[in-house]
Structure 1
Protein backbone atom coordinates (compact mmCIF):
# COMPACT_ATOMS: atom_id res chain seq x y z
CA UNK A 1 0.00 0.00 0.00
CA UNK A 2 1.58 3.36 -0.96
CA UNK A 3 2.65 5.47 1.96
CA UNK A 4 3.16 8.80 0.24
CA UNK A 5 3.45 10.42 -3.14
CA UNK A 6 6.42 12.73 -3.68
CA UNK A 7 8.44 14.44 -6.38
CA UNK A 8 11.57 12.47 -7.10
CA UNK A 9 14.80 12.47 -9.07
CA UNK A 10 15.82 9.42 -11.06
CA UNK A 11 19.14 7.72 -10.41
CA UNK A 12 22.03 9.07 -12.51
CA UNK A 13 22.98 7.10 -15.60
CA UNK A 14 26.16 5.04 -15.50
CA UNK A 15 26.77 4.21 -19.16
CA UNK A 16 23.31 2.73 -19.80
CA UNK A 17 21.96 2.96 -23.35
CA UNK A 18 18.40 4.19 -23.80
CA UNK A 19 16.06 2.64 -26.37
CA UNK A 20 14.73 5.97 -27.74
CA UNK A 21 16.63 9.06 -28.82
CA UNK A 22 14.01 11.20 -27.06
CA UNK A 23 14.75 9.57 -23.67
CA UNK A 24 15.71 11.98 -20.91
CA UNK A 25 19.38 11.16 -20.22
CA UNK A 26 20.18 14.10 -17.94
CA UNK A 27 21.44 13.16 -14.47
CA UNK A 28 18.92 15.63 -13.02
CA UNK A 29 16.01 13.90 -14.79
CA UNK A 30 12.91 13.91 -12.65
CA UNK A 31 9.36 12.70 -12.93
CA UNK A 32 6.47 14.43 -11.20
CA UNK A 33 5.44 11.82 -8.63
CA UNK A 34 6.60 8.52 -7.17
CA UNK A 35 5.18 6.12 -4.62
CA UNK A 36 6.48 2.86 -3.20
CA UNK A 37 4.14 -0.11 -3.48
CA UNK A 38 1.45 1.46 -5.64
CA UNK A 39 1.23 -1.18 -8.39
CA UNK A 40 3.46 -3.88 -6.89
CA UNK A 41 4.41 -4.36 -3.26
CA UNK A 42 7.88 -2.97 -2.55
CA UNK A 43 8.43 -1.54 -6.05
CA UNK A 44 8.57 2.18 -6.73
CA UNK A 45 5.99 3.51 -9.13
CA UNK A 46 6.85 6.68 -11.06
CA UNK A 47 4.24 8.93 -12.66
CA UNK A 48 4.67 11.95 -14.93
CA UNK A 49 1.81 14.30 -15.73
CA UNK A 50 0.86 15.97 -19.00
CA UNK A 51 -2.15 18.15 -19.66
CA UNK A 52 -2.90 18.90 -23.29
CA UNK A 53 -5.47 20.90 -25.22
CA UNK A 54 -7.34 18.60 -27.63
CA UNK A 55 -8.34 21.64 -29.69
CA UNK A 56 -4.72 22.64 -30.37
CA UNK A 57 -3.64 22.66 -34.01
CA UNK A 58 -1.41 19.59 -33.57
CA UNK A 59 -4.39 17.48 -32.39
CA UNK A 60 -7.15 18.67 -34.71
CA UNK A 61 -6.67 16.05 -37.41
CA UNK A 62 -6.57 13.05 -35.06
CA UNK A 63 -9.16 11.48 -32.77
CA UNK A 64 -9.18 12.17 -29.05
CA UNK A 65 -8.11 8.58 -28.35
CA UNK A 66 -5.16 8.96 -30.74
CA UNK A 67 -4.17 12.25 -29.06
CA UNK A 68 -4.18 10.55 -25.65
CA UNK A 69 -2.14 7.67 -27.00
CA UNK A 70 0.34 10.03 -28.71
CA UNK A 71 0.90 11.96 -25.48
CA UNK A 72 1.24 8.77 -23.41
CA UNK A 73 3.78 7.35 -25.87
CA UNK A 74 5.86 10.55 -25.76
CA UNK A 75 6.07 10.29 -21.97
CA UNK A 76 6.91 6.57 -22.13
CA UNK A 77 9.70 7.24 -24.65
CA UNK A 78 11.06 9.99 -22.44
CA UNK A 79 11.08 8.11 -19.11
CA UNK A 80 9.89 4.49 -19.43
CA UNK A 81 13.11 2.72 -20.41
CA UNK A 82 15.20 4.63 -17.87
CA UNK A 83 12.81 3.95 -15.01
CA UNK A 84 12.55 0.22 -15.81
CA UNK A 85 16.28 -0.37 -16.31
CA UNK A 86 17.98 2.18 -14.03
CA UNK A 87 15.48 2.90 -11.25
CA UNK A 88 13.94 -0.63 -11.40
CA UNK A 89 10.43 0.76 -11.04
CA UNK A 90 7.25 1.02 -13.04
CA UNK A 91 6.26 4.08 -15.04
CA UNK A 92 2.75 5.42 -15.64
CA UNK A 93 2.13 8.50 -17.79
CA UNK A 94 -0.81 10.50 -16.44
CA UNK A 95 -2.27 12.28 -19.47
CA UNK A 96 -5.27 14.62 -19.16
CA UNK A 97 -7.07 17.04 -21.42
CA UNK A 98 -7.68 20.62 -20.32
CA UNK A 99 -11.38 19.76 -20.02
CA UNK A 100 -10.80 16.87 -17.60
CA UNK A 101 -10.56 13.83 -19.89
CA UNK A 102 -8.09 11.09 -18.95
CA UNK A 103 -5.91 8.84 -21.01
CA UNK A 104 -6.27 5.06 -20.57
CA UNK A 105 -3.27 4.74 -18.23
CA UNK A 106 -4.49 7.65 -16.08
CA UNK A 107 -7.88 5.93 -15.76
CA UNK A 108 -6.17 2.77 -14.50
CA UNK A 109 -4.10 4.84 -12.07
CA UNK A 110 -7.17 6.61 -10.67
CA UNK A 111 -9.07 3.35 -10.35
CA UNK A 112 -6.23 1.79 -8.35
CA UNK A 113 -5.83 4.94 -6.24
CA UNK A 114 -9.56 4.94 -5.43
CA UNK A 115 -9.39 1.27 -4.40
CA UNK A 116 -6.40 1.87 -2.13
CA UNK A 117 -7.87 5.00 -0.53
CA UNK A 118 -11.30 3.44 0.01
CA UNK A 119 -9.79 0.37 1.64
CA UNK A 120 -7.38 2.35 3.80
CA UNK A 121 -10.00 4.85 5.02
CA UNK A 122 -12.88 2.35 5.23
CA UNK A 123 -15.02 4.52 2.96
CA UNK A 124 -17.35 3.53 0.12
CA UNK A 125 -15.42 3.53 -3.16
CA UNK A 126 -18.12 5.67 -4.81
CA UNK A 127 -17.54 8.48 -2.28
CA UNK A 128 -13.79 8.35 -2.78
CA UNK A 129 -14.18 8.44 -6.58
CA UNK A 130 -16.55 11.43 -6.38
CA UNK A 131 -14.13 13.27 -4.09
CA UNK A 132 -11.20 12.49 -6.43
CA UNK A 133 -13.11 13.71 -9.51
CA UNK A 134 -13.97 16.94 -7.73
CA UNK A 135 -10.32 17.48 -6.72
CA UNK A 136 -9.13 16.70 -10.25
CA UNK A 137 -11.64 19.13 -11.78
CA UNK A 138 -10.46 21.95 -9.54
CA UNK A 139 -6.80 21.12 -10.18
CA UNK A 140 -7.34 21.23 -13.94
CA UNK A 141 -9.27 24.49 -13.59
CA UNK A 142 -6.42 26.04 -11.58
CA UNK A 143 -3.95 24.82 -14.19
CA UNK A 144 -5.98 26.36 -17.04
CA UNK A 145 -6.34 29.65 -15.15
CA UNK A 146 -2.61 29.69 -14.49
CA UNK A 147 -1.98 29.37 -18.23
CA UNK A 148 -4.35 32.27 -18.92
CA UNK A 149 -3.26 34.73 -16.26
CA UNK A 150 0.39 33.80 -15.73
CA UNK A 151 2.20 32.61 -12.67
CA UNK A 152 1.81 33.88 -9.15
CA UNK A 153 3.86 32.35 -6.40
CA UNK A 154 2.03 30.58 -3.63
CA UNK A 155 3.40 28.20 -1.05
CA UNK A 156 2.71 24.53 -1.87
CA UNK A 157 -0.26 23.10 -0.04
CA UNK A 158 -0.72 19.57 1.20
CA UNK A 159 -3.93 17.78 1.98
CA UNK A 160 -4.14 15.70 5.12
CA UNK A 161 -6.25 12.75 3.96
CA UNK A 162 -6.00 11.04 7.34
CA UNK A 163 -8.86 13.07 8.85
CA UNK A 164 -10.87 13.58 5.68
CA UNK A 165 -14.57 12.69 5.85
CA UNK A 166 -15.30 11.59 2.28
CA UNK A 167 -19.02 11.19 2.74
CA UNK A 168 -19.47 14.68 4.24
CA UNK A 169 -17.33 16.21 1.48
CA UNK A 170 -19.39 14.53 -1.23
CA UNK A 171 -22.68 15.58 0.40
CA UNK A 172 -21.52 19.20 0.87
CA UNK A 173 -20.32 19.46 -2.72
CA UNK A 174 -23.65 18.23 -4.12
CA UNK A 175 -21.95 15.63 -6.34
CA UNK A 176 -24.30 12.86 -7.33
CA UNK A 177 -22.86 9.40 -6.77
Structure 2
Protein backbone atom coordinates (compact mmCIF):
# COMPACT_ATOMS: atom_id res chain seq x y z
CA UNK A 1 0.00 0.00 0.00
CA UNK A 2 1.23 3.48 -0.82
CA UNK A 3 -0.27 5.69 1.89
CA UNK A 4 -3.96 5.00 1.14
CA UNK A 5 -6.40 5.87 3.91
CA UNK A 6 -8.98 3.20 4.63
CA UNK A 7 -12.37 3.69 6.24
CA UNK A 8 -12.03 1.28 9.19
CA UNK A 9 -9.28 1.17 11.83
CA UNK A 10 -9.52 -2.62 11.76
CA UNK A 11 -8.67 -2.77 8.05
CA UNK A 12 -5.81 -5.09 7.17
CA UNK A 13 -3.10 -2.75 5.86
CA UNK A 14 -0.18 -5.18 5.79
CA UNK A 15 1.64 -5.29 2.45
CA UNK A 16 1.41 -9.10 2.36
CA UNK A 17 -2.32 -9.18 3.24
CA UNK A 18 -4.42 -11.19 0.83
CA UNK A 19 -7.78 -12.92 0.69
CA UNK A 20 -8.40 -16.64 0.16
CA UNK A 21 -9.90 -16.69 -3.36
CA UNK A 22 -9.81 -14.43 -6.39
CA UNK A 23 -11.64 -14.83 -9.71
CA UNK A 24 -12.03 -12.60 -12.74
CA UNK A 25 -15.53 -12.00 -14.08
CA UNK A 26 -17.51 -13.76 -11.36
CA UNK A 27 -19.95 -10.97 -10.46
CA UNK A 28 -19.21 -8.49 -13.26
CA UNK A 29 -17.55 -9.17 -16.58
CA UNK A 30 -13.86 -8.23 -16.51
CA UNK A 31 -13.80 -7.25 -12.83
CA UNK A 32 -11.89 -9.24 -10.25
CA UNK A 33 -13.92 -10.71 -7.42
CA UNK A 34 -12.23 -11.44 -4.10
CA UNK A 35 -13.61 -13.83 -1.51
CA UNK A 36 -12.41 -14.56 2.02
CA UNK A 37 -13.65 -17.60 3.91
CA UNK A 38 -14.51 -17.86 7.59
CA UNK A 39 -15.91 -20.91 9.34
CA UNK A 40 -17.21 -20.40 12.87
CA UNK A 41 -18.77 -22.53 15.58
CA UNK A 42 -22.22 -21.14 16.47
CA UNK A 43 -22.05 -22.94 19.83
CA UNK A 44 -18.91 -21.04 20.91
CA UNK A 45 -19.21 -18.87 24.00
CA UNK A 46 -18.89 -15.63 22.02
CA UNK A 47 -22.00 -16.49 19.96
CA UNK A 48 -24.26 -17.85 22.71
CA UNK A 49 -26.12 -14.64 23.51
CA UNK A 50 -27.05 -13.80 19.91
CA UNK A 51 -29.12 -15.37 17.15
CA UNK A 52 -27.53 -17.37 14.34
CA UNK A 53 -28.40 -14.63 11.84
CA UNK A 54 -26.70 -12.03 14.04
CA UNK A 55 -23.61 -14.26 14.34
CA UNK A 56 -23.43 -14.58 10.54
CA UNK A 57 -23.86 -10.81 10.20
CA UNK A 58 -21.14 -10.11 12.78
CA UNK A 59 -18.66 -12.41 11.06
CA UNK A 60 -19.44 -10.97 7.62
CA UNK A 61 -18.97 -7.42 8.91
CA UNK A 62 -15.66 -8.42 10.50
CA UNK A 63 -14.37 -9.62 7.11
CA UNK A 64 -15.75 -6.54 5.31
CA UNK A 65 -13.99 -4.23 7.77
CA UNK A 66 -10.73 -6.11 7.31
CA UNK A 67 -10.71 -6.31 3.49
CA UNK A 68 -13.68 -4.59 1.83
CA UNK A 69 -12.44 -1.01 1.61
CA UNK A 70 -8.94 -2.04 0.57
CA UNK A 71 -10.18 -4.30 -2.22
CA UNK A 72 -12.63 -1.72 -3.54
CA UNK A 73 -10.24 1.27 -3.48
CA UNK A 74 -6.78 -0.28 -3.96
CA UNK A 75 -7.42 -3.46 -5.97
CA UNK A 76 -10.54 -2.08 -7.72
CA UNK A 77 -12.49 -5.30 -7.31
CA UNK A 78 -15.53 -6.59 -5.47
CA UNK A 79 -15.35 -8.36 -2.11
CA UNK A 80 -17.58 -11.13 -0.82
CA UNK A 81 -17.12 -12.62 2.66
CA UNK A 82 -17.96 -16.33 2.65
CA UNK A 83 -19.09 -17.14 6.18
CA UNK A 84 -20.06 -20.71 7.11
CA UNK A 85 -20.91 -22.50 10.33
CA UNK A 86 -19.14 -25.72 11.23
CA UNK A 87 -22.39 -27.59 10.52
CA UNK A 88 -22.78 -26.23 6.98
CA UNK A 89 -24.92 -23.13 7.45
CA UNK A 90 -24.16 -20.14 5.23
CA UNK A 91 -24.29 -16.41 5.75
CA UNK A 92 -26.43 -14.30 3.41
CA UNK A 93 -23.53 -13.27 1.17
CA UNK A 94 -22.28 -16.88 0.96
CA UNK A 95 -25.76 -17.97 -0.17
CA UNK A 96 -25.68 -15.37 -2.95
CA UNK A 97 -22.20 -16.54 -3.95
CA UNK A 98 -23.24 -20.21 -4.06
CA UNK A 99 -26.35 -19.37 -6.07
CA UNK A 100 -24.28 -17.47 -8.66
CA UNK A 101 -21.66 -20.24 -8.74
CA UNK A 102 -24.38 -22.85 -9.36
CA UNK A 103 -25.81 -20.76 -12.21
CA UNK A 104 -22.39 -20.37 -13.84
CA UNK A 105 -21.48 -24.06 -13.47
CA UNK A 106 -24.87 -25.29 -14.71
CA UNK A 107 -24.66 -23.06 -17.77
CA UNK A 108 -21.06 -23.95 -18.53
CA UNK A 109 -21.52 -27.72 -18.10
CA UNK A 110 -25.01 -27.85 -19.68
CA UNK A 111 -26.41 -29.56 -16.58
CA UNK A 112 -29.68 -28.95 -14.69
CA UNK A 113 -29.13 -26.34 -11.98
CA UNK A 114 -30.78 -28.57 -9.37
CA UNK A 115 -28.19 -31.32 -9.95
CA UNK A 116 -25.32 -28.88 -9.73
CA UNK A 117 -26.70 -27.40 -6.48
CA UNK A 118 -27.12 -30.87 -4.95
CA UNK A 119 -23.58 -31.81 -5.96
CA UNK A 120 -22.18 -28.55 -4.52
CA UNK A 121 -24.03 -29.00 -1.22
CA UNK A 122 -22.74 -32.55 -0.93
CA UNK A 123 -19.15 -31.41 -1.62
CA UNK A 124 -19.48 -28.59 0.93
CA UNK A 125 -20.87 -30.93 3.58
CA UNK A 126 -18.01 -33.38 3.14
CA UNK A 127 -15.42 -30.58 3.14
CA UNK A 128 -16.77 -29.18 6.41
CA UNK A 129 -16.91 -32.68 7.89
CA UNK A 130 -13.28 -33.31 6.92
CA UNK A 131 -12.29 -29.97 8.47
CA UNK A 132 -14.08 -30.79 11.71
CA UNK A 133 -12.52 -34.24 11.88
CA UNK A 134 -9.09 -32.79 11.20
CA UNK A 135 -9.56 -30.40 14.12
CA UNK A 136 -10.64 -33.26 16.38
CA UNK A 137 -8.06 -35.92 15.58
CA UNK A 138 -5.26 -34.14 13.72
CA UNK A 139 -3.64 -34.89 10.41
CA UNK A 140 -2.76 -38.30 9.05
CA UNK A 141 -0.35 -36.92 6.45
CA UNK A 142 -2.12 -38.23 3.36
CA UNK A 143 -1.50 -36.65 -0.01
CA UNK A 144 -4.24 -34.25 -1.13
CA UNK A 145 -6.53 -35.49 -3.88
CA UNK A 146 -7.86 -33.42 -6.74
CA UNK A 147 -11.10 -33.87 -8.60
CA UNK A 148 -11.37 -33.24 -12.32
CA UNK A 149 -14.75 -31.54 -12.70
CA UNK A 150 -14.34 -31.16 -16.46
CA UNK A 151 -15.62 -34.68 -17.17
CA UNK A 152 -17.94 -34.99 -14.17
CA UNK A 153 -21.46 -36.25 -14.86
CA UNK A 154 -23.49 -34.28 -12.30
CA UNK A 155 -26.73 -36.13 -12.91
CA UNK A 156 -25.16 -39.59 -12.47
CA UNK A 157 -23.34 -38.42 -9.33
CA UNK A 158 -26.56 -37.10 -7.78
CA UNK A 159 -28.51 -40.26 -8.68
CA UNK A 160 -25.80 -42.61 -7.39
CA UNK A 161 -25.43 -40.72 -4.11
CA UNK A 162 -29.18 -40.80 -3.44
CA UNK A 163 -29.41 -37.05 -2.91
CA UNK A 164 -32.96 -35.82 -3.20
CA UNK A 165 -33.27 -32.93 -5.66
Q: Please, what TM-score do these two structures have when normalized by structure 2?
A: 0.97
| Residue 154 to residue 167, structure 1, CA distance change in 2 (3 Å) | same
How far apart are residue 151 of structure 1 and its match?
3.7
| Residue 107 to residue 25, structure 1, CA distance change in 2 (3 Å) | same
Give the whole-Å Cα distance in 1 for the aligned partners of 2:145 and 2:92.
Answer: 28
Give the whole-Å Cα distance in 2 for the aligned partners of 1:138 and 1:47.
Answer: 21
How far apart are residue 159 of structure 1 and its match?
2.5
Structure 2: stretches of 5+ with no match in the other structure: none
| Residue 153 to residue 83, structure 1, CA distance change in 2 (3 Å) | farther
Give the whole-Å Cα distance in 2 for the aligned partners of 1:88 and 1:21.
Answer: 20
How far apart are residue 19 of structure 1 and its match?
1.0
Pairing 1:79–2:60 present: no
| Residue 53 to residue 121, structure 1, CA distance change in 2 (3 Å) | same
How far apart are residue 117 of structure 1 and its match?
0.2
Q: Tell me the alpha carbon deviations over residues 101-123 of structure 1, each in whole angstroms, 9 at most, x when there is no partner.
A: 00000000000000000000000
Runs of 4 or more, structure 1, over 2 Å off, are 150-159
How far apart are residue 158 of structure 1 and its match?
3.1
How far apart are residue 150 of structure 1 and its match?
2.4
Correspondence for 1:125 among 113, 118, 126: 113
Give the whole-Å Cα distance in 2 for the aligned partners of 1:69 and 1:27.
Answer: 27
| Residue 170 to residue 59, structure 1, CA distance change in 2 (3 Å) | same
How far apart are residue 153 of structure 1 and its match?
4.1
| Residue 117 to residue 153, structure 1, CA distance change in 2 (3 Å) | same
State how many pairs are aligned.
165
